């Protein structure tokens, strides 16, 4: 079943707060230049502290390539730099509770699927691409899109104090799917597979079965020495987790 807007978007979002998974417009993102592209450092004229340059815009800046500036990157307060920036549609990735007290929030830019075709589009639509989170089309203001996790950026919390830029809020089903993709992106599932040697004779249970909802997935004793077996229930490689002694 393809993912559709009715499953994915909350039809009546509570506008008092923002949450993980919210899609918002107009958030500026700055992308750092590649290390092999020289940084352009801006020194205000007349010379003064950078804080002053931020407060009252100086008349002039001298642009220097960092390699040609003997004092580059030596200022304790940092440098003013030239970098590309644009306002983007973004998805909030930080956990909702962090929106109350963290200064910096992680977001991913949201791009329309335009130009993505064939197998790449199929896997995107099934949320089967570990770098992206799929967003189905929903009306004029929400073309079919995806949040690009490979471009996660950090943005000051002050951009998330208002909800008037909210485009979409995820349903709890979609939020769970987002959390699954985030844990896959940042971590690997914890457990042993058929590739691994059994380190210790103990009772194990298949984590894949458990997370599929088989909370009572069979607990089996696996003996140290060989490799882990495939899982008989899910038929896959299994993801063997050691069961705490009291459960075994």
How many residues comprise the chain? 248
Regarding 24 and contact with Zn ion (CB under 5 A), the answer is: no
State the DSSP code for 9: B
Is 155 near Zn ion (CB under 5 A)? Answer: no
Please give the residues from 82 up to 121 whose contact with Zn ion meets the rule CB under 5 A.
none
| Smallest gap from residue 228 Cβ to Zn ion (A) | 11
Number of neighbouring beta carbons within 10 Å of residue 93: 24
Residue 241 sits in the site that holds Zn ion (CB under 5 A)? no
Residues 206, 237, 240, 241: which binds Zn ion (CB under 5 A)?
Answer: 206
Stretch touching Zn ion by CB under 5 A, among 7-15, 122-130, 184-192, 208-216: 208-216
Element (H, E) at 178: helix 172-186
Q: How far is the CB of 181 from Zn ion (least distance, A)?
A: 21
Neighbours of 114 (CB within 10 A): 9
Stretch that binds Zn ion, among 11-19, 32-40, 100-108, 238-246 (CB under 5 A): 238-246
Which residues, 6 or more positions from 164, have their beta carbon under 8 angstroms from its beta carbon? none
| Cα distance between residue 242 and residue 231, in whole Å | 14
Site residue total, Zn ion (CB under 5 A): 7
Q: Does 231 bind Zn ion (CB under 5 A)?
A: yes
Residue in 205, 198, 200 with CA at minimum distance from that of residue 247: 205
Would you tell me which residues interact with Zn ion (CB under 5 A)?
206, 208-209, 231, 233-234, 238
């Amino acid at each position: 079943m393809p993912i559709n807007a009715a499953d994915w978007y909350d039809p009546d979002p509570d506008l008092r707060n923002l949450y993980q998974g919210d899609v918002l417009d107009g958030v500026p993102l700055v992308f750092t230049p590649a290390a092999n592209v020289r940084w352009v450092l801006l020194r205000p004229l007349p010379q003064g502290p950078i804080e002053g340059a931020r407060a009252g815009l100086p008349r002039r800046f001298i642009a220097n390539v960092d390699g040609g500036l003997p004092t580059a990157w030596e200022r304790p307060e940092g440098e003013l730099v030239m970098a590309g920036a644009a306002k983007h549609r973004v998805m909030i990735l930080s956990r909702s509770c962090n929106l109350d007290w963290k200064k910096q929030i992680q977001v991913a830019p949201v791009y329309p699927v335009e130009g993505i075709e064939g197998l790449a589009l199929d896997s995107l639509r099934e949320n089967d691409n570990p770098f992206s989170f799929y967003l189905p089309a929903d009306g004029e203001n929400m073309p079919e899109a995806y949040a690009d996790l490979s471009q996660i950026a950090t943005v000051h919390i002050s951009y998330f104090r208002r909800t008037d830029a909210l485009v979409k809020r995820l349903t709890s089903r979609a939020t769970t799917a987002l959390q699954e993709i985030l844990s896959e992106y940042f971590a690997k599932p914890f457990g042993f597979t058929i590739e691994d040697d059994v380190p210790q004779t103990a009772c194990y249970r298949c984590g894949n079965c458990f997370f599929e909802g088989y909370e009572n997935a069979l607990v089996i004793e696996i003996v140290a020495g060989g490799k882990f077996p495939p899982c008989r229930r899910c038929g896959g490689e299994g993801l063997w987790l050691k069961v705490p002694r009291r459960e075994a």
